[in-house]
């Protein structure tokens, strides 16, 4: 009995001080604030979504392997100019703990998209994080088992214009 | 010094060192109470007489037991009180920790609320997101491969140039070899025609 109590007493502080990742902190910080839109899709729902038969197996398979998608985007133009998620993550020591690797940076006219990933071994990723900066700011976090080879395949397998897939988000 | 005095001396020594058994103590008491004490032992006589008197008062056993019980009980009660205090404090601390831990674990397991309740909407949105990601990913890769192709092409160009340079001396020597071969052939023809 004493040993159990002691064990709990020793483990609990660890759990208590197990800090949230800087990404989660950012999401928590800006969720439900004015000018921000957050979209959360749980792994469970993605699993259902992946099983919908649409004849697109690549996407379906990929979706059912995901544990969650979180998106934080900035709608307000003033905020957009002020914010820099990348700088905020950097300030939070995000790049010091080496759990994330920088995959690549795609720079286009008025936009910088940084691909960060957590390695799951065997060439798979356990989390893909997109930090979009520039004129529009957004954070996209995709968790689960991600095969980098499949990411590229999605646009090739679907010839739908992104705008066509636009849907309204219920806030 | 008789055997007995010697023995008594030894016993006295051990008595004052606190090493005697009850039997030996009784023996000493008996010795001093029986009156035949050598002058050497005279100073101890009154002492042992007193001791013997005290040990004679064995009567009130109940009182003794009662006292003992009281002492033990109060000791026990004190221990119990401390234990009770300790248990309460640790119990409270443990439950606070467990509650906090539980909340934390619960939060970690459910980091967010679903935005969608309809899997089809979720799929549409997820697909849209994935396509955005995929688009960026591909354009990044395309840029990478453009530079990659360029580098490759340059490399190959360089190789071709090198090959050209390297083959110059080769072609010279080849010419010489060829010339040699044609000489040999000519010779052969010459000898053949001669034989005929």
CB B24 within 8 A of CB B14: yes
Dist CA B6 CA B8 (whole Å): 5
Of the pLDDT bands very low, low, confident and very high (cuts 50, 70, 90), residue A167 is: very low
Residue A7 lies in a domain: no
Mean pLDDT of chain B: 78
- Reported for A42-45, long-range contacts at CB under 8 A and 24+ positions apart, including other chains, are A42/A68, A42/B112, A42/B114, A43/A67, A43/A68, A43/A143, A43/A144, A45/B114, A45/B116, A45/B117, A45/B119, A45/B122
Of the pLDDT bands very low, low, confident and very high (cuts 50, 70, 90), residue B99 is: very high
For residue range B126-148, list pLDDT tens digits in order.
Answer: 888 888 888 888 888 887 777 66
Residue A68 lies in a domain: yes
Residue A1 lies in a domain: no
Does A42 contact B112 at a Cβ distance shorter than 8 Å? Answer: yes
For residue range A148-158, list pLDDT tens digits in order.
Answer: 888 877 765 54
SS3 state of residue B98: helix
B130 contacts chain A (CB < 8 A): yes
| Distance between A16 CA and the closest CA of chain B, angstroms | 6
pLDDT for A165 equals: 42
Dist CA B74 CA A121 (whole Å): 65
B124 contacts chain A (CB < 8 A): yes
Q: Which residue in B115, B127, B139 is closest to A40 by CB distance? A: B115
E strands along A33-79, which residues?
A: 36-42, 66-74
| Distance between B84 CA and the closest CA of chain A, angstroms | 14
Dist CA A131 CA A146 (whole Å): 17
Q: Kindly report the backbone phi and psi dihedral angles of residue B195, in degrees, each rounded to the nearest multiple of 5, phi listed first.
A: -60, -35
B188 contacts chain A (CB < 8 A): no
pLDDT for B105 equals: 78
Q: Which residue in B124, B126, B141 is closest to A69 by CB distance? A: B126
Dist CA B97 CA A12 (whole Å): 6
Give residues 36 to 95 of B whose Cβ lies within 8 Å of A: 90, 93-94
For residue range B23-79, list pLDDT tens digits in order.
Answer: 888 888 888 777 677 777 777 877 877 777 776 665 567 788 888 899 998 888 888
pTM of the model as a whole: 0.52
pLDDT for A98 equals: 65
Q: How many domains does chain A have?
A: 1
Residue A47 lies in a domain: yes
CB A26 within 8 A of CB A85: yes
What mean pLDDT do residues A36-53 have? Answer: 83
Note down the domain range covering A147. Answer: 20-165
Cα dihedral across residues B4, B7, B12, B18: positive or negative? negative
What mean pLDDT do residues A61-74 have? Answer: 86
Does A12 contact B97 at a Cβ distance shorter than 8 Å? Answer: yes
Residue A4 lies in a domain: no
Residue A9 lies in a domain: no
B97 contacts chain A (CB < 8 A): yes
Is a pLDDT exceeding 80 seen at residue A38? yes
Dist CA B18 CA B36 (whole Å): 24
For residue range B182-194, list pLDDT tens digits in order.
Answer: 777 777 777 777 6
């Amino acid at each position: 009995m004493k040993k159990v109590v002691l064990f709990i007493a020793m483990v609990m502080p660890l759990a208590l001080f197990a800090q949230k990742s800087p990404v989660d902190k950012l999401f928590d910080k800006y969720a439900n604030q004015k000018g921000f839109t957050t979209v959360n899709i749980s792994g469970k729902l993605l699993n259902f979504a992946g099983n919908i038969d649409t004849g697109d197996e690549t996407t379906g398979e990929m979706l059912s392997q995901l544990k969650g998608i979180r998106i934080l985007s900035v709608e307000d133009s003033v905020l957009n100019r002020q914010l820099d998620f990348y700088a905020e993550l950097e300030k939070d020591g995000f790049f010091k703990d080496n759990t994330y690797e920088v995959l690549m940076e795609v720079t286009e006219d008025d936009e910088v998209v940084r691909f960060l990933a957590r390695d799951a071994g065997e060439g798979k990723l356990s989390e893909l994080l997109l930090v979009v900066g520039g004129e529009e700011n957004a954070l996209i976090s995709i968790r689960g088992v991600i095969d980098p080879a499949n990411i590229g395949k999605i646009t090739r397998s679907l010839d739908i214009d992104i705008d066509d897939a636009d849907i309204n988000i219920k806030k | 010094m008789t055997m007995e005095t010697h023995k008594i001396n030894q016993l006295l020594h051990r008595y004052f060192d606190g090493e005697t058994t009850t039997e030996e103590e009784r023996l000493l008491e008996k010795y001093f109470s029986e009156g035949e004490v050598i002058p050497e032992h005279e100073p101890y006589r009154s002492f042992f007489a007193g001791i013997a008197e005290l040990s004679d008062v064995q009567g009130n056993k109940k009182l003794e037991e009662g006292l003992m019980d009281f002492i033990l009980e109060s000791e026990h009660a004190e221990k119990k009180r401390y234990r009770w205090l300790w248990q309460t404090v640790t119990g409270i601390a443990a439950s606070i920790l467990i509650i906090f831990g539980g909340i934390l674990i619960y939060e970690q397991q459910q980091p967010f609320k679903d935005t969608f309740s309809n899997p089809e909407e979720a799929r549409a949105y997820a697909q849209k997101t994935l396509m955005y990601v995929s688009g960026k990913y591909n354009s990044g890769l395309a840029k990478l491969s453009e530079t990659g192709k360029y580098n490759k092409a340059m490399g190959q160009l360089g190789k071709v140039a090198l090959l050209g340079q390297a083959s110059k001396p080769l072609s010279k020597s080849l010419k010489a070899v060829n010339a040699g071969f044609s000489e040999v052939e000519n010779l052969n023809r010459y000898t053949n025609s001669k034989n005929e």
